[in-house]
């Protein structure tokens, strides 16, 4: 059961699509303080678990820290950070009482989940203007299912998006791009996508390509397509200020950019130098910006990633001004205190989100009050346009910043992680929480974005990425080269990524069932084994679909790991020589050995999954000849469609396979 409580005058976010009955008063859990802001306080039982928060830092159980949901471009994903790129304000308390709460509030909101006091959950925001949704159900899983129904069907990508993609910030020349594809193909390492980072553009201008490098861009796109590779260009939030650049000229002329209080266009310096932000909260401006994606679609592109849409700001002229005054004052004291200059790295701390406005329903809304909706609406602009432009063709689309509601338009990647072992685990933990909030198409930069990767880190991370819907190797400018072919014995990479392709029919089928039924693709163990007292403790394994459990190795130099089995399972290893090892393991704790070039998978008792022969692209997979892996006598209901159109509901998409 879902009920809605309205406090003050909430800003409409369109996060919830279902009609939810509104009730007066406050929910019957905890206490509420509604003066001087909004505050919910709840005393947690010793064993209560708090799930949710999507792309937030730390554990599957969010207890023990404070999370400030305010979309932030922070590349230091240490344990300490409280704000990441997204604001997914949905939590589920599971324990003495079990209930879910979605705080539909578009600006900074804090979840103190046992940080100030270990037994106290507080959620607070500075203004008492929000819609609060209470979800009650039999279990956390049931609550998630109900919530998911209320927020609408998750984004469905084309099937090729389940292939492997290579990316790097720094590829610039056509020759560099071609080399990546040549080297993957020469080594027969599967590849479906090649990502174009900002350097493909003409002076970082959205929807342009560098004319010197790509004199015939459509020809380049179709050459790549002939080799089975989809090009996926990046689009940044800021539109370069440059007279004669038509996106800029049109946006100014029509008034589609965010404005300052005095009505002038707000200036933010990002990669292209000064930019304006399209006012994607205004439906007219949103439609206009979305329509620009058509240019690249006309060139043959069928996928995009939206970046810098928190929005990230390097500096503004106003900030430079503030800085000068504070600098002079700070210079009068010894020792010099850089913090006194306001050298805080984030635009929020610099007050820059208070400097511009959105045009909504005839009024001006200051950005900081709706900050968390920007990335959502930039991606919504693209998603709505893609459906208009190509109603019968699914396109790949994912974003860095997001809010619940955006899950209907695109997926996400988890942003600028690092080549750290701990970030394999962070990647795993986030996946289930993201699913709770509607985000099914998701993945991390495999191998790590910042810092230098190592061969073993990349292999272990890929062995997790085999199972995440988005499987992409991406790294930052200036880091060590990270394509699979840069390391010795590339056949190990061919094998690990090949396992992904063998599993694509299964993973796609489970993804589609999850999306079509508002279900989860990844679940915490406790969602599947609610009676098992150990299951809630497990933070480094996940249930995948209805058949499997995954438990990647994430420790350097480890030859295997401990794993907990809530029930008897078939432990499968995809061995480097292409064969499989299979062993039935009893419920309980086990140490399992997993070599660097192996992929482990656990199949639940009485279940089986389909397996294809590996291929170098998703399109080349032979799904007419699948074998079944798992328990004898088991059957599997396979979902398969053409992977492109939107005819999901055709009963012919389902077939039952029996082992
Ligand atoms: O300020 O486009 O998260 O994936 O490679 C950095 C360059 C801007 C941040 C993205 C990253 C991308 C990078 N971008």
List Cβ neighbours of 577 (8 Å cut-off, separation of 6 or more).
none
Mutate-to-test residue for ligand 1 from 74, 85, 195, 197, highest number of ligand atoms within 8 A of CB: 197
First to last CA, the chain: 39
For ligand 1, is residue 147 a contact (CB within 6 Å)?
no
Reply yes or no on whether the pLDDT at 343 is more than 70: no
Q: How confident is the model at residue 413 (pLDDT cuts 50, 70, 90)?
A: very high
List Cβ neighbours of 584 (8 Å cut-off, separation of 6 or more).
568, 569, 570, 571
Ligand 1 centroid–CA 445 distance in Å is 11
For ligand 1, is residue 169 a contact (CB within 6 Å)?
yes
Angle between helices 217-226 and 174-186 (to 10 degrees): 0
Other Cβ atoms within 10 Å of 262 Cβ, number:
5
User: Which atom from ligand 1 is nearest to the alpha carbon of 271?
Assistant: 1
List Cβ neighbours of 147 (8 Å cut-off, separation of 6 or more).
2, 90, 100, 102, 133, 135, 436
Model pLDDT for residues 86-142, shown as the tens digit of each residue = 999 999 999 999 999 999 999 999 999 999 999 999 999 999 999 999 999 999 999
What per-residue confidence (pLDDT) applies to 402? 98
SS3 assignment, position 580: strand
Q: How confident is the model at residue 497 (pLDDT cuts 50, 70, 90)?
A: very high
For ligand 1, is residue 272 a contact (CB within 6 Å)?
no
User: Do 639 and 653 touch, CB atoms closer than 8 A?
Assistant: yes
SS3 assignment, position 161: helix
Residue 429 to residues 55, 148, 432, 550, Cα–Cα distance (Å): 9, 19, 6, 12
For ligand 1, is residue 640 a contact (CB within 6 Å)?
no
Which of the 8 DSSP states describes residue 483?
A: S
SS3 assignment, position 581: strand
DSSP string, 362-391: TEEEEGGGSGGGHHHHHHHHHHHHHHHH-T
Other Cβ atoms within 10 Å of 480 Cβ, number:
12
Ligand 1 centroid–CA 309 distance in Å is 11
Reply yes or no on whether the pLDDT at 502 is more than 90: yes
SS3 assignment, position 461: helix
Residue 326: alpha-carbon gap to chain centroid: 38
Among 635, 634, 632, 609, which Cα is nearest to 550's?
609
Question: What is the average per-residue pLDDT within 403-418?
Answer: 98
Mutate-to-test residue for ligand 1 from 77, 200, 308, highest number of ligand atoms within 8 A of CB: 308
For ligand 1, is residue 111 a contact (CB within 6 Å)?
no
Phi, psi of 132, rounded to the nearest 5 degrees: -115, 125
Greatest CA span in the chain, whole angstroms? 81
Mean pLDDT of the residues in the chain: 96
For ligand 1, is residue 74 a contact (CB within 6 Å)?
no
Model pLDDT for residues 263-291, shown as the tens digit of each residue = 999 999 899 989 999 999 999 999 999 99
Ligand 1 centroid–CA 72 distance in Å is 13
Atom 13, ligand 1: residue with shortest CA distance: 169
List Cβ neighbours of 5 (8 Å cut-off, separation of 6 or more).
22, 23, 24, 25, 26, 27, 131, 132, 133, 134
User: Do 172 and 459 touch, CB atoms closer than 8 A?
Assistant: no
Which of the 8 DSSP states describes residue 653?
A: G
Other Cβ atoms within 10 Å of 220 Cβ, number:
20
For ligand 1, is residue 375 a contact (CB within 6 Å)?
no
Mutate-to-test residue for ligand 1 from 476, 477, 479, 482, highest number of ligand atoms within 8 A of CB: 476
User: Which atom from ligand 1 is nearest to the alpha carbon of 234?
Assistant: 2
User: Do 541 and 563 touch, CB atoms closer than 8 A?
Assistant: yes
User: Which atom from ligand 1 is nearest to the alpha carbon of 270?
Assistant: 1
For ligand 1, is residue 415 a contact (CB within 6 Å)?
yes
Per-residue tokens: 141: 């899983």
Ligand 1 centroid–CA 234 distance in Å is 9
User: Do 466 and 503 touch, CB atoms closer than 8 A?
Assistant: yes
What is the C-alpha to C-alpha distance for residues 567 and 603, in angstroms, rounded to an integer? Answer: 10
Among 649, 596, 602, 656, which Cα is nearest to 630's?
602
Ligand 1 centroid–CA 75 distance in Å is 10
What per-residue confidence (pLDDT) applies to 342? 60
Atom 8, ligand 1: residue with shortest CA distance: 308
Ligand 1 centroid–CA 198 distance in Å is 8
Ligand 1 centroid–CA 169 distance in Å is 7
Ligand 1 centroid–CA 342 distance in Å is 25
Ligand 1 centroid–CA 653 distance in Å is 38
What sign results for the dihedral spanned by CA atoms 241, 242, 243, 248? negative
Model pLDDT for residues 174-219, shown as the tens digit of each residue = 999 999 999 999 999 999 999 999 999 999 999 999 999 999 999 9
Per-residue tokens: 586: 């009893």
What is the C-alpha to C-alpha distance for residues 137 and 127, in angstroms, rounded to an integer? Answer: 29
Q: How confident is the model at residue 415 (pLDDT cuts 50, 70, 90)?
A: very high
Ligand 1 centroid–CA 163 distance in Å is 22
For ligand 1, is residue 265 a contact (CB within 6 Å)?
no
Residue 364 to residues 257, 259, 371, 490, 528, Cα–Cα distance (Å): 12, 9, 14, 56, 47
Residue for token digits 């979305």? Answer: 290
276 exposed, middle or buried (CB, 10 Å; 0-12, 13-18, 19+)? buried
Ligand 1 centroid–CA 37 distance in Å is 35
User: Do 306 and 410 touch, CB atoms closer than 8 A?
Assistant: yes
User: Which atom from ligand 1 is nearest to the alpha carbon of 236?
Assistant: 2
For ligand 1, is residue 198 a contact (CB within 6 Å)?
yes
Question: What is the average per-residue pLDDT within 481-499?
Answer: 98
Prediction pTM value: 0.97
**Can the peptide bond before residue 345 be classed as cis, meaning omega within 30 degrees of 0?**
no
User: Which atom from ligand 1 is nearest to the alpha carbon of 400?
Assistant: 3
Q: How confident is the model at residue 322 (pLDDT cuts 50, 70, 90)?
A: confident
Reply yes or no on whether the pLDDT at 547 is more than 90: yes
Atom 2, ligand 1: residue with shortest CA distance: 198
Per-residue tokens: 573: 């290893």
Q: Spell out the domains of the chain, with CATH numbers in brackets.
A: 2-151 (2.60.40.1760), 159-413 (3.20.20.80)
What is the C-alpha to C-alpha distance for residues 103 and 16, in angstroms, rounded to an integer? Answer: 11
For ligand 1, is residue 197 a contact (CB within 6 Å)?
yes
Model pLDDT for residues 233-265, shown as the tens digit of each residue = 999 999 999 999 999 999 999 999 999 999 999
Which of the 8 DSSP states describes residue 628?
A: E
**Can the peptide bond before residue 144 be classed as cis, meaning omega within 30 degrees of 0?**
no
Among 167, 129, 162, 183, which Cα is nearest to 623's?
162
What is the C-alpha to C-alpha distance for residues 630 and 608, in angstroms, rounded to an integer? Answer: 4
């Amino acid at each position: 059961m879902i009920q809605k409580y309205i406090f003050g005058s909430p800003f409409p976010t369109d996060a919830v699509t279902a009609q939810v009955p509104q009730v007066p008063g406050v929910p019957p859990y905890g206490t509420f303080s509604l003066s001087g802001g909004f505050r919910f306080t709840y005393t947690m039982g010793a064993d209560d678990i708090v799930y949710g928060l999507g792309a937030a830092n730390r554990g599957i159980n969010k207890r023990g820290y404070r999370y400030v949901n305010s979309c932030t471009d922070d590349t230091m994903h240490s344990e300490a950070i409280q704000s990441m790129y997204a604001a997914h304000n949905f939590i589920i308390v599971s324990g003495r009482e079990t209930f879910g709460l979605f705080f539909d509030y578009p600006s900074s909101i804090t979840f103190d989940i046992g940080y100030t006091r270990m037994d106290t959950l507080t959620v607070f925001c500075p203004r008492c203007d929000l819609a609060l949704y209470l979800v009650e159900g039999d279990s956390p899983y049931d609550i998630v299912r109900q919530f998911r129904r209320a927020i609408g069907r998750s984004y469905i990508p084309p099937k090729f998006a389940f292939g492997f993609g290579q990316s790097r910030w720094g590829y610039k020349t056509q020759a560099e791009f071609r080399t990546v594809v040549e080297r993957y193909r020469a080594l027969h390492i599967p590849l479906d996508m090649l990502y174009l980072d900002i350097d493909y553009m003409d002076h970082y201008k959205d929807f342009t390509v560098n004319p010197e490098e790509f004199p015939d861009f459509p020809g380049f796109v179709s050459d790549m397509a002939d080799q089975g590779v989809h090009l996926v260009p990046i689009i940044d939030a800021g539109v370069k200020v440059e007279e004669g650049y038509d996106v800029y000229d049109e946006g100014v002329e029509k008034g589609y950019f965010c404005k300052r209080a005095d009505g002038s266009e707000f200036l933010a310096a990002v990669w292209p130098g000064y930019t304006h932000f399209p006012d994607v909260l205004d439906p007219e401006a949103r439609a206009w910006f979305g329509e620009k994606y058509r240019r690249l679609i006309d060139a043959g592109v069928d996928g995009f990633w939206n970046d810098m849409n928190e929005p990230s700001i390097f500096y503004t002229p106003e900030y430079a001004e503030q800085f000068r005054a504070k600098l002079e004052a700070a210079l009068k004291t010894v020792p010099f205190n850089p913090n006194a200059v306001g050298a805080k790295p984030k635009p929020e701390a610099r007050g820059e989100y208070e400097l511009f406005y959105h045009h909504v329903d005839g009024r001006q809304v200051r950005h900081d009050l709706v900050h968390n909706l920007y990335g959502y609406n930039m991606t919504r602009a693209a998603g709505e346009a893609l459906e208009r432009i190509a109603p019968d063709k699914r396109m790949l689309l994912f974003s860095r910043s997001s809010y619940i509601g955006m899950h209907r338009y695109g997926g996400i990647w988890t942003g600028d992680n690092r080549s750290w072992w701990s970030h394999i685990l962070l990647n795993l933990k986030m996946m289930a929480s993201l699913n709770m909030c509607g985000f099914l198409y998701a993945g991390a930069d495999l191998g790590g974005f910042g810092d230098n990767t190592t061969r073993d880190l990349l292999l272990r991370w890929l062995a997790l990425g085999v199972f995440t819907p988005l499987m992409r190797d991406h790294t930052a400018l200036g880091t060590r080269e990270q394509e699979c072919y840069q390391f010795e014995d590339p056949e190990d990479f061919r094998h690990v990524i090949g396992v992904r392709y063998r599993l694509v029919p299964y993973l796609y089928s489970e993804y589609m069932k999850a999306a079509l039924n508002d279900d989860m693709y990844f679940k915490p163990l406790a969602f599947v084994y609610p009676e098992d007292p150990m299951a809630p403790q497990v933070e480094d394994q996940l249930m995948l679909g209805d058949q499997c459990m995954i438990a990647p190795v994430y420790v350097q130099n480890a030859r295997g790991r401990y794993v907990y089995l809530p029930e008897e399972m078939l432990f499968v290893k995809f061995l480097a020589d292409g064969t499989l090892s299979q062993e039935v393991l009893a419920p309980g704790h086990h140490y399992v050995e997993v070599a660097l070039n192996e992929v482990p998978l656990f199949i639940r008792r009485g279940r089986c999954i389909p397996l294809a022969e590996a291929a170098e692209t998703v399109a080349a997979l032979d799904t007419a000849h699948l074998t079944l892996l798992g328990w004898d006598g088991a059957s599997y209901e396979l979902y398969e469609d053409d992977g492109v159109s939107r005819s999901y509901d055709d009963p012919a998409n389902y077939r039952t396979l029996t082992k």
